[in-house]
Amino acid sequence: MPIIESVSVAAVAIPLDKVTSFSTRTVSERHYCLVKVRGKDGNEGIGFCYVGSAGGDVAKVAVEQLLAPKLIGQNSHRSEGLWMEMYDESILQGRSGVVMRGISILDTALWDLNARAAKLPLHQYLGSVVDDRVPAYASGGYYLDGKTPAKLGKEMETYVNQGFKAVKMKTGRLSPREEEARVKAARKAVGDDVLLTLDANNAWRDLPTALEYIRRFEQYNPYWIEEPFSPDAIDLHAALARQTTINVATGEMEAGRWRFRELIDTGGAAILQPDAAVCGGITEWRRIAVYADVKGVTVCPHWMHDLHAPLVAATPNARFVEFFLDDQVLNFRRLINKQLTFKNGDLILHKTPGLGFEFDEAAVKKYAGKAAWTKVM
């Protein structure tokens, strides 16, 4: 019986090489929370999440004080029961936010641990649809000082030249006229046969303002408009979906299957973007994906391609993994010892057990300090 012996947790902060902006925020560093769940048999699974541009210790405290003690001495294969017990234990403090992220990373570590013990890559352990590669879109198009529409177009073109058949850019920070110029330049650069997706990062607060932008964008045939409003404004997402030909995509900040059910049932998302490091882990992500499949909704998970590539490989209604080609924006890749490779717009799945990589302990120590890990036993 695979019994959990200990949980180790660390909080790290990694500065960005360049200050980077999107519609409503500017980011100079990324905070992550990391966990390692170790079994008495010597196998170990890992989990991780992005916490935000500050406050990484908040998630660490949630893991240490609320969640990890529920796992010690338990059978790691009892993942459904352990998920429910962590959720119930933290229901007053959690149900979303950093506490649910804590549940997410521990749940991910359990799946990784069990797949490693079975000596199977995670996508095979989950029951894969495909076994070698998954489609990805190249994510970028952030705002940088001096980045003109022409320079944005050139960036998008470089992704296409590397084989990607879908790309994503940011929108919503500038005026409608200026944003149209950016979208126009991107479409011209990638051509008509590449899917162009737009991410507004909660830029707009009302439907009329959103439509000022959307009406200008429609002629360039974007595949989706992502997070047009606050994640709590589900009714506005649904209202926009009824008034545009552009697919509305959202869900990256949502936690728990109940919020995703509301999003789907109100028509607020044609493309669902659950993040397994946010929504409740692999266990909850799979529940959400199944409900979306029943309702005919496509899943394209948000961020963390290292985590989501095996999930997309094991999910019939999942279409793309979001992929960052470098570490300027998603600098988590500095913390692991093996990177996913890509070919012709597809990510090549790891063939080694579990997630297929480990934390780079030297990097963790660099960004978390000498006493990087706290152990709960």
Give the tens place of pLDDT for each residue, 149-158: 999 999 999 9
What pLDDT score was predicted for residue 278? 97
The segment(s) of the chain belonging to CATH 3.30.390.10 are 3-120+357-376
Please state which CATH class domain 3-120+357-376 belongs to.
Answer: alpha beta
pLDDT of residue 112: 98
Q: What's the pLDDT score for residue 25?
A: 84
pLDDT surpasses 90 at 46: yes
Tokens of 305: 């391609």
Higher pLDDT pick, 372 / 8 = 8
Can you give the pLDDT at residue 305? 97
Residues 196 and 221: beta-carbon distance below 8 Å: yes
Identify the pLDDT of residue 340. 96
**Quick one: pLDDT at residue 111?**
98
Instruction: Flag the least confident range among 55-59, 179-183, 230-234.
Output: 55-59
Pairing of strands 133-139, 321-323: parallel
In 3D, which of 161, 217, 171 has the Cα closest to residue 191?
161
Strand runs labelled E in 282-362: 298-299, 321-323, 341-343, 346-348
Beta-bridged to residue 136, according to DSSP, are 321
Q: What percent of the chain has pLDDT over 70?
A: 100
Helix (H, G, I), strand (E, B) or coil at 329: coil
* 18, 27, 36, 111, 150 from 146: Cα distances, Å: 13, 17, 41, 44, 11
The CA distances from residue 17 to 26, 120, 160, 212, in Å, are: 13, 36, 24, 34
At residue 56, the pLDDT reads: 86
Calculate mean pLDDT across residues 218-241.
98
Q: Hey, is 95 helix, strand or coil? A: coil
- How high is the mean pLDDT of the chain? 96
pLDDT of residue 183: 98
d(CA 269, CA 57): 32
Topology of domain 124-348 in CATH is: TIM Barrel (3.20.20)
- Between residues 252 and 27, the one the model is more confident about: 252
Residue 286 confidence (pLDDT) = 98
Question: With contact defined as beta carbons under 8 Å apart, do 249 and 298 qualify?
Answer: no
Check if the beta carbon of residue 111 is closer than 8 Å to that of residue 125: yes
pLDDT of residue 229: 98
Q: Return the pLDDT at 328.
A: 86
Residues of the chain with CATH 3.20.20.120: 124-348
What pLDDT score does 50 carry?
95
Q: What is the pLDDT of residue 309?
A: 98
The amino acid occupying position 29 is E
Question: What local confidence, expressed as pLDDT, does residue 24 receive?
Answer: 82
Helices 257-265 + 281-294 axis angle, to 10: 20
pLDDT band, residue 18 (cuts 50/70/90):
confident
pLDDT for 371 beyond 80: no
Which pTM value belongs to this model? 0.96
